[in-house]
């Protein structure tokens, strides 16, 4: 009798294991602590609204904190692949962390969908796709606005890491194209608590506009330093600063700041003919209902779009393989390149074999801080 019971128990255990293997496991690596937490926390908030089931399969989200550290991002990625056997990885919200994760995901042939505009050497993004708009796309929108404002000279104050470097490259190319000139370049680390010296050098050059390249809660500090040095020109920030933290920390010093963003952030105020109007409004409505009016962010929007991606590629991949297998992971990656034109909260996406960014130059939306809130800039 005991033997029969043991056999039944073993059969039940094996059956349960079979069900577990059929689940779709999604690894998430985001910054919940450290300088990037202002980006990671709203991302996590949106992921709490993620579908529990896709195409009839249960979805498990395994969320790990990278602590805003590339090394931690790498170790988290290895754990998700070797221990949790995830089918896809989402993250990180920080460019340096996502960049460090990419080789590990590629080595293990696991699809990585980045939540930051990470750049990798040409030909090394076979397993990497990006949800945020590329810096070139956002620089296009920003510099078009600068042209309307009559800007001719620009001061650059940005991170020393990959995000700052990629933006400097994009801004330099766009400035040259649009007949503008970057007259001063100063850099600072994410962990720096003061940029007084850099701000003094840039304000002394007195450019028509300043471009601050920082993210989340860290975006307010450099701008405050510029304003406190007496700068009276226009100040621009990148899409990594499109969070409520900019106003919460910056206060009156960030009034009038121009911030480039994806359309998701202002979905409810987009024109009716905007292709993302319906989807972006749905994101804003759901997020604000769950977490409070005006609490949405650029990065929460990327997490919303991630769900759209999964709901589109999972049914395609399931026709070729079962979750938990190398074949399924490969099928997910292939489906990314062939999913075709897709409306996201953040714009129209069309990934392809040769383009793992997907957005066009009309994606960026210019915002302005007015009375402590983001509004569409004129």
> Is the domain 2-133+295-349 a CATH 3.30.365.10 member?
no
Least confident of 2-6, 36-40, 74-78, 162-166: 2-6
pLDDT per position as a tens digit, 272-316: 989 999 999 999 999 999 999 988 999 999 999 999 999 999 999
Token representation of residue 136 = 């070139």
Q: Cis ω on the peptide bond leading into residue 92 (within 30° of 0)?
A: yes
Sign of CA dihedral 303, 309, 311, 317: negative
Query: Is pLDDT at 77 greater than 60 in this prediction?
Result: yes
> Is the per-residue pLDDT at 10 higher than 70?
no
Q: Indicate whether 55 pLDDT > 60.
A: yes
Token pair of 336 as six digits:
């990314």
Where exactly are the structural domains of the chain?
2-133+295-349, 135-261
**Looking at the predicted structure, is the pLDDT value of residue 17 above 60?**
no
Q: What global pTM score does this model have?
A: 0.85
pLDDT of residue 217: 86
pLDDT reported for residue 6: 41
Percent of the chain with pLDDT over 90: 86
How far CA 341 is from CA of 162, 298, 330, 347, in Å, comes to 29, 21, 21, 10
* Edge-to-edge strand ranges of the sheet holding 128-130: 53-54, 57-65, 24-30, 88-91, 111-114, 128-130
d(CA 242, CA 254): 12
Using 50, 70 and 90 to split pLDDT, how confident is the model at 122?
confident
Average of per-residue pLDDT across 145-157: 98
pLDDT for 101 beyond 60: yes
Distances (CA, A) of 243 to 70, 103, 110, 136, 181: 22, 29, 30, 20, 28
How far from chain centre, in Å, is Cα 340?
Answer: 21
pLDDT tens-digit readout, 158-179: 999 999 999 999 999 999 999 9
CB 208 within 8 A of CB 175: no
The pLDDT value recorded for residue 9 is 43
- What band does 203 get if pLDDT is binned at 50, 70 and 90? very high
- Residue 155: φ, ψ to 5°: -105, 135
Q: In whole angstroms, what is the distance from residue 130 CA to residue 214 CA?
A: 19
Matching fold, domains 2-133+295-349 and 135-261: yes
Give the pLDDT of residue 154: 98
Residue 263 has pLDDT above 50, yes or no: yes
Return the closest-CA partner of residue 87 out of 318, 333, 329, 316.
Answer: 329
The Cα 134–Cα 366 span in angstroms is: 15
Dihedral over alpha carbons 119, 123, 128, 131 (to 10 degrees): 50
Going from the C-alpha of 282 to that of each of 22, 242, 341, the distances in angstroms are: 30, 19, 19
Answer yes or no: is pLDDT of 378 > 90.
no
**φ, ψ at 57 (rounded to 5°):** -110, 140
Pick the CATH number of 135-261 from 3.30.70.270, 3.40.50.620, 1.20.1600.10, 3.40.50.2300: 3.40.50.2300
- What end-to-end distance do the CA atoms of the chain give, in Å? 80
Residue 20 has pLDDT above 80, yes or no: no
Closest CA to 347 of 204, 70, 141: 141
| Those residues with Cβ within 8 angstroms of residue 12's Cβ, 6 or more apart along the chain or in another chain | none
Where do runs of H (alpha helix) occur along the chain?
2-22, 37-47, 70-82, 95-107, 135-148, 162-177, 196-205, 220-228, 245-250, 277-291, 298-318, 326-338
pLDDT for residue 331: 98
Kindly tell me if the per-residue pLDDT of 91 is higher than 70. yes
Q: Is pLDDT larger for residue 11 or for residue 47?
A: 47
């Amino acid at each position: 009798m005991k033997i029969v019971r043991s056999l039944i128990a073993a059969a039940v255990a094996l059956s349960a294991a079979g069900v577990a293997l059929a689940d779709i496991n999604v690894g998430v690596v985001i910054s919940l602590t450290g300088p990037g937490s202002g980006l990671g926390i709203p991302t996590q908030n949106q992921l709490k609204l993620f579908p529990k089931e896709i195409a009839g399969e249960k979805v498990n989200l395994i969320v790990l904190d990278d602590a805003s550290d590339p090394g931690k991002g790498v170790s988290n990625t290895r754990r998700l692949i070797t221990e949790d056997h995830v089918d896809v990885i989402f993250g990180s919200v920080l460019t340096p962390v996502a960049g460090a994760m990419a080789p590990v995901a590629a080595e293990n042939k696991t699809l990585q969908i980045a939540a930051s505009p990470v750049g990798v050497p040409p030909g090394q993004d076979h397993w990497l796709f990006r949800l945020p708009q590329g810096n070139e796309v956002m620089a296009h929108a920003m510099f078009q606005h600068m042209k309307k404002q009559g800007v001719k000279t620009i001061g650059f104050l940005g991170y020393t890491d990959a995000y700052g470097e990629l933006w400097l490259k994009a801004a330099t190319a766009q400035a040259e194209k649009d007949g503008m000139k970057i007259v001063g370049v100063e850099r600072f680390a994410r962990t720096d608590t003061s940029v007084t010296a850099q701000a003094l050098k840039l304000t002394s050059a007195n450019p028509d506009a300043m471009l601050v390249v920082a993210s989340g809660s860290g975006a307010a500090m450099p701008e405050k330093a510029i304003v406190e040095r007496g700068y009276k020109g226009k100040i621009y920030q990148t899409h990594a600063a499109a969070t409520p933290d900019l106003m919460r920390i910056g206060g009156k010093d960030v009034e009038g700041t121009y911030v480039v963003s994806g359309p998701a952030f202002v979905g409810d105020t987009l024109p009716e003919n905007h292709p993302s109007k319906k989807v972006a409004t749905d994101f804003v409505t759901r997020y604000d209902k769950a977490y409070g009016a005006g609490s949405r962010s650029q990065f929460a929007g990327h997490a919303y779009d991630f769900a759209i991606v999964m709901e589109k590629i999972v049914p395609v991949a399931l026709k070729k393989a079962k979750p938990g297998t190398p074949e399924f992971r490969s099928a997910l990656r292939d489906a990314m390149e062939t999913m075709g034109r897709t409306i996201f909260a953040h714009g129209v996406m069309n990934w392809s074999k040769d383009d793992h960014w997907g957005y066009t130059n009309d994606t960026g939306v210019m915002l302005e801080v007015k009375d402590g809130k983001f509004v569409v800039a004129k």
